[in-house]
Chains A and B, each alone.
Chain A
């Protein structure tokens, strides 16, 4: 029921955007802004071509791989930094000094060093996204209320002699650090997914003949507005999909401590 409501909201919003789009198309003329219905009708044909799906899949592959790598690398690193003071004092100056640098400006450098394949494009997204996840995860471990550490400490079976410390450390990670930091890390991922799409577009508009970014730039160059809009809409769809996917993950894995649950 809740999901159905959400879907209706989405459809209604789409409709309203469509209306504004149509008005815009009437004002600017077909050559600058094609009418939404024309794009829709064109999409029936275009979505059946191999060409489109080739672009779509390569873009999805790039952005999803990048987000997965970012999360898997940044989440543990953020936790470790938040928990280990010595490591943090060594590593955080590097983090915060390089944090404000917009990674996208390094694009030419990456192409030079890493080549013009998928790797440099994915790496660029990873670099952009993981910073945000590291910073947020680290902060969430640092800000975790001391009472939870005490509470956890009080549950350790001190009467058992010779239990390896390793075991308690593992338990602390599994029961305390990971679940407490997960909600904010997933929120960071959700917000970063929008940035990831933007970086993807930039990274795909140079030196490649594949991907939605290329599709948009190429059609634009040829003045072929309809495929360009299909490209734009596909990127939007990818963005919404990733956003909702992160939302779903949050709902599945952070039941008791979502930011809005009180």
Chain B
């Protein structure tokens, strides 16, 4: 029997509109006139070299950092403002680099922390945790501490902790950077299947071109800001996103190649 945590009454879909976003650290501009949008229930992968502002962009979307100018808006599928329509911010989850799990909490405690902070009552927390453990194939490991889990297990746990609060948007900051190649592919598949099931909108920051193309409905290729550049970024549409066996298709490699070249310039 499989029950899902999703489709509660107050879960909606939301897209993200970003217009003319500028961010500077002191005198140093990091993001300049950045505009893009992610449709509700779609995904965007952000790729670029170190220091081009990928992670900064993500923490701005997560409302963890201020920005100097521009607009960041959340929109319903009908194009209305999410906040005006539903009277609240969309629920956001953030998966940090290197998992961001707390070493002093075991798997179960890490998983339930977002719900505890949100003051959900205990019985419902237990219910959610049990489902999420099952969903992410972590049953039996709930008493283990992060130091006793493998890289892949930690990553699944981190994903579970992001998913458990039923987010409308998930932000992933190089989530698979510390996982080995084989696990990496499995986890990419897992992210995709979770996306199909829970229908959240997600933004993924990555270093790997293959991952960007595999997991991004749109791909944003960022380069480091310099004053000579006319544009700091290029947006690609990925028509093959979420198709079956995309990794074996010629078009996938073509797109990878194009993006790879864009990063070389």
Contacts and interface: CB of A to CB of B under 8 A. Distances in A.
Contacts of A160: 88, 118
B104 A254 contact: yes
B102 A176 contact: yes
Contacts of B118: 157, 160
A43 to B, nearest CB: 43
Interface string A161-186: 10000011001000110011011000
Contact of A171 (B92, B103, B106, B117): B117
B238 to A, nearest CB: 27
Interface string B82-112: 0000011111111011101111111000000
A208 interface: no
Given A255-B145, A257-B103, A261-B145, A155 B117 contact: yes
A256 B144 CA distance: 8
A151 interface: yes
Q: Chain B interface secondary structure, helix, strand, loop or mixed?
A: loop
A143 interface: no
Contacts of A256: 102-106, 145-147
Interface residues of B, number: 32
Contact of B102 (A148, A161, A183, A262): A148
Contact of B89 (A158, A182, A257): A158
A174 to B, nearest CB: 9
Given A161-B88, A179-B102, A154 B62 contact: yes
A175 B165 CA distance: 17
Interface string B139-175: 0000001110000000000000100010000000000
A92 interface: no
A236 interface: no
A254 B146 CA distance: 13
Contacts of A50: none
A120 B105 CA distance: 40
B3 interface: no
Number of chain A interface residues as a range: 20 to 34
Contacts of A84: none
A48 interface: no
Contact of B106 (A158, A168, A255, A261): A255
A47 B185 CA distance: 69
A183 B147 CA distance: 15
B116 interface: yes
A171 B98 CA distance: 22
Contacts of A179: 102, 104-105
Given A168-B117, A255-B145, A159 B104 contact: no
B91 A157 contact: yes
B90 to A, nearest CB: 6
B63 interface: yes
A2 interface: no
B92 A150 contact: no
B1 interface: no
B248 to A, nearest CB: 36
A165 B30 CA distance: 30
By CB atoms of chain B within 10 A, which of A167, A175, A256 has the most? A256
B250 interface: no
B96 A150 contact: yes
B122 to A, nearest CB: 15
A147 interface: yes
Contact of B100 (A151, A159, A182, A261): A151
Contacts of A167: 119
A153 interface: yes
Contacts of B101: 151
15 contacts: A151-B96, A151-B100, A154-B100, A155-B113, A155-B114, A157-B118, A159-B91, A160-B88, A160-B118, A161-B88, A176-B102, A256-B102, A256-B106, A257-B104, A261-B147
Q: Which 7 A-B pairs have the closest CB atoms?
A: A256-B145, A151-B100, A154-B94, A159-B89, A179-B104, A257-B103, A157-B118
